[in-house]
């Protein structure tokens, strides 16, 4: 702001005039002070009148005082900024008026700056420091500087028309800034102010808050048990941090231990080993540190234990355990002291426990067992007495000691049993180092040796040896093997023929021991032959031969072969076996017979059985055949037989004939025979009239009848209505010189024992004619031929043979001419 000087010139007055004065002519006043302007009139005749006005159009905010008639004071008490004005003092003296001006300037700068924002700064966070200068006038002259030492950090000028000038200085403090001083200096640059009033300043120190840092904790330590230790922990921070101690336990849990920078633990135990954590914290934050404390101790509570018991029997299992409490872990040495000798058994470095298991203790394991625990702080020893005693082993072998006889091929088991020994060890042995090739099976206190199937080479002594700790006992059994599995077998050599030398052979299979076998031949009670065996190392097939000449009296004799095994232990029913053979002398077939059942005379359709029997040694071939009309037909052939039979379920006429049974063996043959007759009533009767049934008067006719029948039939011819019967033995009738009176019905009656059959036919005779008739003889011959053909037709194509058979079957060809008058 420009300092304005208002100059008003006083006009010179013509008349003698008074002198006026206004003091001070220019003035700079401080707000709050009491000040006065002095206006005076000198040389005024009469009384002077003073008038105070302002040039500016505003009140003067002052009172006047008049200490003398020629003086007027304008009192400003106290001075305020309202008093800034151009004050006019008018003096009237008589008619004369004079006036003078004075410019009043006002300033205010009463107080030092007030700084705030320094108390609660946060390290690292932007903070604002504020400096306020109040009641400043005129404010635009005020300049604020922020200083650190003499370094100007920030400057700010005041604004117009404010009563309080403030400046904000922004700063992000660091922990190091804590406690540093900072100054706010205000300078009023108003002209006319006394120099000493122009500057005022305030210095404050920064209070920067920050989390604890630079934490320091005691070093890790090893402490002996029973001692004490002290831990220190400190950190720097604003506000001053508080320290808390914790023990970090397992699983992340922690136990509060107390507050304060030091932590002291007395009478430490192993359980005090661990990580100790201190946490220092203030309102801004916290920081932690950890230190490990290890409590160490020499070996203590060292113990040695024997499980299950320290009183042991040989072969028992035992576990010897060693334990100690030691930090750091110790070297655990387990040793046995026996008869002044120390034997180290186990050495376990870095251990607090160790164990040694003896699966099967021996006598020599008895003694004092010591467990010594050693670490760098000391050592400790524990000991226990272990005593081992033996078991009173008893061994039993079954079958018992001595000889045992076993049949070859059977299975055999030797059982060995140990008593009073919990864990016996079994060993099966046999002499000559022969391997015990059989299986053995051990279960708990017994062991079994399986022999089987037993062979002669298994014959030897077997020893069961049992070891129970240091005790060894054995039992022995000797095995004898026998083999006599089957009865003897007798075979004949060649045929026994009376008077000729015969041989019998008796075989005994697979015998052992062969030297003990006796073979005897007996005829009833008479011993014919006795043979002893000879030694053989294995199974043997024995054969004994008996030679003799049978007489006729030997037929049917029973010869016995008896084999006896003379050996102890073989069951009585298995030691003697025998076979019997009956002497059978050979001869040719005799008493050969053939029989027909039920009868040898049969009706067609009956059933019949033809049986053949012979007596022959040896049995031979039986042949059954039929002989008919000189022809032989073989019906059956049965080799190696003494009887045979043939059954015909339904006999036919053709089955008639002579039946022969021939028996044949190497010594000869014999034949028997029987006649079989089959009967049938007449049937299939046919009648033929030749040359024709229609003839001329004077001609002859031949009537031929054919029939099937046995026995042969009687045939009669009758002219029906006339009653005359003609008989023919062969079924042929010749009617001579016929007349028309012969015309009519004729009947043929064919009859045998079993029945009859009739045929009726017609003959018609015509009156004579002139032409001569054909020759009758010629006609008969041709008719005979025709008849034969007809018979062949009925026997279904079996030509000559059947012609021969035809008669036998009773087919009668009634074709022979027999002239007989009717
Ligand atoms: C440490 O143990 C001893 C003996 O047991 C005892 O007298 C002493 O008071 C204990 N000290 C503290 C601090 O517990
Ligand atoms: C303290 O002990 C713990 C566990 O035994 C280990 O992990 C940690 O590193 C140790 N601390 C120090 C500082 O040795
Ligand atoms: C270990 O020995 C101490 C005395 O030395 C005893 O108090 C504590 O019971 C013992 N601990 C065991 C497990 O034997
Ligand atoms: C004895 O004879 C039988 C039958 O001929 C035969 O299988 C067997 O092997 C024979 N045994 C000996 C020991 O020769
Ligand atoms: C001997 O007799 C016993 C019993 O009496 C029987 O089991 C066995 O089969 C007999 N042996 C012979 C070879 O007959
Ligand atoms: C036929 O056998 C009988 C008894 O069976 C006998 O008496 C007769 O002598 C035997 N005939 C012949 C030839 O052997
Ligand atoms: C007899 O006649 C019947 C039919 O009537 C026939 O089946 C049979 O073969 C004849 N028998 C003979 C021996 O001619
Ligand atoms: C056939 O002859 C027999 C015996 O002479 C007789 O019994 C029978 O009655 C005769 N048949 C006829 C039909 O004449
Ligand atoms: C016609 C004819 O041949 N008649 C004869 C019948 O049989 C007698 C006796 O054999 C003869 O004498 C006839 O001549
Ligand atoms: C030729 C002949 O004998 N004729 C006789 C036929 O029968 C009658 C009656 O019986 C006779 O009278 C004929 O003489």
Nearest-CA residue for ligand 1 atom 7 is 267
With beta carbons less than 8 A apart as the criterion, state whether 603 and 754 touch: yes
| Nearest ligand by distance to the CA of 382 | 3
| Nearest ligand by distance to the CA of 777 | 9
Q: What is the pLDDT of residue 795?
A: 24
| CA quadruple 626, 632, 635, 641: dihedral sign | positive
| CA quadruple 632, 636, 639, 644: dihedral sign | negative
Would you give the end-to-end CA distance of the chain in angstroms?
Answer: 210
Residue 348 banded pLDDT, cuts 50, 70, 90 = very high
CA dihedral 687, 692, 694, 700 (to 10 degrees): -100
Bridge partners, residue 540, by sequence: 511
Does pLDDT of 497 surpass 90? Answer: no
* CA–CA separation, 685 and 669 (whole Å): 46
Three-class DSSP labels, 357-400: EECCCCHHHCEEEEEEEEECCEEEEEEEEEEEECCCCEEEEECC
Q: From ligand 5's centre to the CA of 562, what distance in Å?
A: 18
Percent of the chain with pLDDT over 70: 90
Q: What is the pLDDT of residue 821?
A: 33
For the stretch 85-144, pLDDT in tens is 899 999 998 888 888 999 999 999 999 999 999 998 999 999 999 999 999 999 999 999
Query: Nearest-CA neighbor of 91 among 22, 24, 9, 6?
Result: 22
Cβ–Cβ contacts within 10 Å for residue 111, how many? 14
Grouping H, G, I as helix, E, B as strand and the rest as coil, residue 437 is: coil
Cβ–Cβ contacts within 10 Å for residue 761, how many? 13
DSSP state of 775: P
Residue 144: Cβ-neighbour burial (10 angstroms; 0-12, 13-18, 19+): buried
Could you identify the residue written with the tokens 């120099």? 195
For the stretch 184-225, pLDDT in tens is 999 999 988 899 999 999 999 999 999 999 999 999 999 999
The runs of H, that is alpha helices, within 743-809 are 776-794, 800-808
Across the chain, mean pLDDT equals: 85
Q: What is the pLDDT of residue 555?
A: 81
Q: What is the pLDDT of residue 481?
A: 93
DSSP conformation letters of 227-271: --EEEEEEEEEESPPEEEEEEE-GGG-EEEEEESSEEEE-S--GG
Return the ligand 4 atom nearest residue 540 CA.
13
Does pLDDT of 158 surpass 90? Answer: no
Q: From ligand 8's centre to the CA of 726, what distance in Å?
A: 13
Q: From ligand 4's centre to the CA of 505, what distance in Å?
A: 16
Return the ligand 5 atom nearest residue 573 CA.
1
* CA–CA separation, 672 and 610 (whole Å): 12
With beta carbons less than 8 A apart as the criterion, state whether 786 and 814 touch: no
For the stretch 786-821, pLDDT in tens is 222 222 222 222 222 222 333 333 333 333 333 333
DSSP conformation letters of 505-568: EEEEEEEBSGGGEEEEEEETTEEEEEEE----SS-EEEEEEEEE---GGGTT-EEEEEEEE--T
Could you identify the residue written with the tokens 């203790």? 361
For the stretch 534-585, pLDDT in tens is 888 889 999 999 998 888 788 888 899 999 999 988 998 889 999 999 888 8
Grouping H, G, I as helix, E, B as strand and the rest as coil, residue 571 is: coil
| CA quadruple 265, 267, 268, 271: dihedral sign | negative
Cβ contacts of residue 433 below 8 Å, gap of 6+? none
| Nearest ligand by distance to the CA of 590 | 6
Peptide bond connecting 762 to the previous residue in cis, omega within 30 degrees of 0 = no
| Nearest ligand by distance to the CA of 697 | 9
For the stretch 748-789, pLDDT in tens is 999 998 899 999 999 999 887 555 444 333 333 222 222 222
With beta carbons less than 8 A apart as the criterion, state whether 91 and 44 touch: yes
Q: What is the pLDDT of residue 436?
A: 67
* CA–CA separation, 806 and 167 (whole Å): 173
* CA–CA separation, 549 and 750 (whole Å): 71
Tokens linked to 419 = 């008593």
Residue 340 banded pLDDT, cuts 50, 70, 90 = confident
Instruction: Tell me which of 221, 247, 292 to substitute to probe ligand 2's pocket, judged by most ligand atoms within 8 Å of the beta carbon.
Output: 292
Nearest-CA residue for ligand 7 atom 3 is 684
* CA–CA separation, 728 and 746 (whole Å): 15
Cβ contacts of residue 770 below 8 Å, gap of 6+? none
Domains in the chain (CATH in brackets) are: 2-107 (2.60.40.10), 114-206 (2.60.40.10), 219-292 (2.60.40.10), 296-389 (2.60.40.10), 394-482 (2.60.40.10), 489-575 (2.60.40.10), 587-678 (2.60.40.10), 691-820 (2.60.40.10)
Question: What's the predicted TM-score (pTM) here?
Answer: 0.42
Mean pLDDT score, 346-361: 92
Query: Nearest-CA neighbor of 3 among 89, 107, 157, 156?
Result: 107
| CA quadruple 685, 686, 690, 696: dihedral sign | positive
Q: From ligand 4's centre to the CA of 590, what distance in Å?
A: 41
Could you identify the residue written with the tokens 């008058």? 821
Please give all residues whose beta carbon lies within 6 A of any atom in ligand 6, as ranges: 590-591
Instruction: Tell me which of 226, 227, 267 to substitute to probe ligand 1's pocket, judged by most ligand atoms within 8 Å of the beta carbon.
Output: 267
Q: From ligand 6's centre to the CA of 617, what distance in Å?
A: 15
> With a 6 A CB cut-off, is 222 part of the ligand 2 pocket?
no
Grouping H, G, I as helix, E, B as strand and the rest as coil, residue 451 is: strand
Q: What is the pLDDT of residue 495?
A: 76
Does pLDDT of 438 surpass 70? Answer: no
| Nearest ligand by distance to the CA of 615 | 6
Query: Nearest-CA neighbor of 293 among 307, 276, 308?
Result: 276
Mean pLDDT score, 275-296: 93
Could you identify the residue written with the tokens 């009296």? 553
Task: Identify each DSSP E strand in 55-192 by its residue range.
Answer: 63-68, 71-76, 85-93, 96-107, 114-116, 121-122, 127-133, 142-148, 151-157, 165-171, 181-188
Nearest-CA residue for ligand 3 atom 6 is 301
**Strand duo 208-217 + 121-122: pairing:** parallel
Q: From ligand 5's centre to the CA of 575, what distance in Å?
A: 10
Q: From ligand 7's centre to the CA of 747, what distance in Å?
A: 21
Q: From ligand 5's centre to the CA of 570, what distance in Å?
A: 11
With beta carbons less than 8 A apart as the criterion, state whether 478 and 403 touch: yes
Q: What is the pLDDT of residue 784?
A: 28
Nearest-CA residue for ligand 5 atom 3 is 573
For the stretch 400-429, pLDDT in tens is 777 899 999 999 899 999 998 888 889 888
> With a 6 A CB cut-off, is 572 part of the ligand 5 pocket?
no
Does pLDDT of 643 surpass 50? Answer: yes
Tokens linked to 765 = 């005779």
Does pLDDT of 486 surpass 90? Answer: yes
* CA–CA separation, 612 and 594 (whole Å): 5
Between the CA of residue 13 and those of 47, 96, 97, what are the distances in Å? 19, 9, 10
Does pLDDT of 621 surpass 70? Answer: yes
Q: From ligand 7's centre to the CA of 659, what distance in Å?
A: 26
Burial 541-550 (b: 16+ CB within 10 A, else e): ebebebebeb
Q: From ligand 9's centre to the CA of 695, what distance in Å?
A: 14
| Nearest ligand by distance to the CA of 717 | 8
* CA–CA separation, 783 and 374 (whole Å): 152
Query: Nearest-CA neighbor of 133 among 123, 124, 142, 120?
Result: 142
Does pLDDT of 449 surpass 80? Answer: yes
* CA–CA separation, 700 and 723 (whole Å): 21
Q: What is the pLDDT of residue 608?
A: 95
Q: How do the residues of the chain divide into helix, strand and coil, expressed in percent and rounded to 5? A: 10, 60, 30
> With a 6 A CB cut-off, is 220 part of the ligand 2 pocket?
yes
DSSP conformation letters of 688-755: EEES-SEEETT--EEEEEEEEEESPPEEEEEETTT--EEEESSSEEEE-S--GGG-EEEEEEEEETTE
Burial 421-441 (b: 16+ CB within 10 A, else e): bebbbbebebeeeeebebebe
* CA–CA separation, 584 and 561 (whole Å): 16
Q: What is the pLDDT of residue 302?
A: 95
């Amino acid at each position: 702001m420009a300092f304005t000087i208002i100059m008003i010139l006083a006009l010179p007055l013509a008349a003698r005039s008074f002198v006026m004065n206004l003091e001070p002519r220019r003035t700079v006043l401080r707000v709050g002070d009491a000040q006065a302007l002095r206006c005076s009139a000198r040389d005024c005749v009469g009384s002077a009148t003073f008038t105070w006005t302002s040039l500016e159009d505003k009140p003067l905010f002052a009172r006047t005082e008049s200490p003398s008639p020629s003086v007027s004071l304008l009192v400003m008490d106290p001075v305020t900024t309202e008093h800034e004005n151009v004050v006019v003092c008018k003096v009237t003296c008589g008619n004369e008026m004079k006036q003078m001006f004075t410019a009043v300037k006002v300033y205010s700068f009463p107080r030092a700056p007030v700084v705030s924002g320094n108390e609660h700064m946060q390290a690292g966070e932007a903070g604002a420091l504020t400096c306020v200068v109040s009641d400043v006038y005129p404010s635009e002259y005020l300049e604020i500087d922020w200083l650190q030492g003499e370094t100007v950090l920030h400057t700010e000028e005041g604004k117009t028309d404010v009563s309080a000038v403030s400046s904000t200085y922004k700063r992000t403090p660091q922990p190091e800034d804590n406690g540093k001083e900072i100054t706010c200096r205000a300078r009023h640059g108003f002209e006319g102010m006394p120099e000493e009033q122009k500057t005022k300043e305030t210095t404050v120190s920064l209070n920067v808050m920050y989390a604890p840092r630079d934490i320091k904790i005691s070093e890790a330590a090893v402490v002996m048990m029973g001692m004490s230790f002290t831990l220190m922990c400190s950190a720097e921070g604003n506000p001053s941090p508080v320290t808390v101690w914790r023990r970090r336990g397992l699983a992340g849990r922690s136990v509060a231990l107390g507050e304060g920078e030091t932590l002291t633990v007395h009478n430490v135990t192993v359980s005090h080993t661990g990580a100790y954590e201190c946490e220092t914290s203030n309102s801004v934050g916290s920081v932690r540190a950890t230190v490990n404390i290890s409590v160490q101790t020499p070996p203590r509570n060292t113990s040695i234990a024997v499980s299950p018991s320290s009183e042991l029997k040989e072969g028992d299992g035992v576990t010897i355990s060693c334990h100690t409490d030691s930090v750091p872990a110790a070297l655990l040495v387990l040793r046995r002291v026996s008869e002044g000798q120390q034997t180290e058994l186990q050495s376990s470095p870095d251990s607090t426990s160790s164990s040694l298991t003896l699966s099967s203790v021996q006598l020599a394991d008895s003694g004092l067992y010591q467990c010594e625990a050693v670490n760098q702080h000391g050592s400790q020893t524990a000991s226990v007495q272990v005593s081992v005693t033996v078991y009173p082993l008893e061994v039993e072998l079954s079958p018992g000691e001595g000889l045992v006889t076993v049949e070859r091929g059977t299975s055999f088991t030797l059982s060995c049993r140990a008593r009073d020994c919990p864990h016996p060890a079994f060993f099966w042995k046999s002499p000559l180092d022969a391997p015990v090739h059989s299986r053995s099976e051990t279960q708990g206190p017994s062991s079994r040796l399986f022999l089987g199937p037993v062979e002669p080479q298994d014959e030897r002594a077997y020893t069961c040896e049992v070891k129970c700790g240091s005790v060894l006992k054995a039992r022995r059994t000797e095995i004898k093997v026998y083999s006599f599995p089957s009865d003897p077998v007798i075979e004949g050599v060649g045929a026994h023929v009376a008077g000729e030398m015969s041989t019998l052979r008796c075989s005994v299979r697979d015998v052992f021991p062969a030297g003990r076998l006796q073979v005897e031949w007996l005829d009833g009670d008479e011993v014919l032959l006795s043979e002893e065996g000879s030694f053989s190392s294995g199974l043997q097939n024995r054969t004994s031969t008996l030679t003799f000449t049978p007489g006729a009296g030997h037929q049917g004799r029973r010869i016995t072969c008896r084999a006896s095994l003379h050996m102890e232990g073989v069951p009585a029913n298995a030691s003697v076996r025998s076979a019997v053979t009956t002497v059978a002398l050979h001869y040719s077939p005799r008493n050969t017979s053939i029989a027909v059942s039920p009868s040898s005379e049969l009706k067609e359709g009956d059933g019949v059985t033809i049986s053949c029997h012979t007596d022959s040694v040896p049995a031979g071939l039986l042949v059954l055949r039929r002989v008919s009309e000189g022809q032989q037909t073989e019906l059956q052939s049965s080799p190696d037989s003494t009887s045979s039979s043939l059954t015909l379920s339904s006999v036919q006429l053709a089955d008639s004939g002579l039946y022969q049974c021939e028996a044949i063996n190497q010594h000869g043959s014999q034949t028997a025979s029987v006649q079989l007759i089959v009967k049938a009533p007449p049937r299939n009767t046919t009648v033929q009239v030749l040359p024709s049934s229609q003839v001329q008067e004077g001609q002859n006719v031949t009537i031929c009848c054919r029939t099937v029948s046995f026995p042969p039939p009687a045939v009669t011819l009758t002219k029906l209505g006339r009653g005359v019967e003609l008989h023919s033995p062969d079924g042929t009738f010749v009617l001579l010189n016929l007349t028309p009176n012969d015309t009519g019905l004729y009947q043929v009656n064919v009859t045998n024992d079993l029945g009859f059959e009739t045929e009726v036919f017609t003959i018609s005779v015509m009156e004579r004619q002139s032409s001569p008739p054909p020759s009758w003889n010629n006609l008969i011959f041709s008719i005979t031929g025709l008849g034969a053909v007809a018979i062949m037709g009925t026997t279904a194509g079996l030509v000559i043979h059947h012609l021969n058979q035809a008669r036998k079957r009773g087919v009668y060809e009634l074709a022979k001419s027999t002239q007989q008058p009717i």
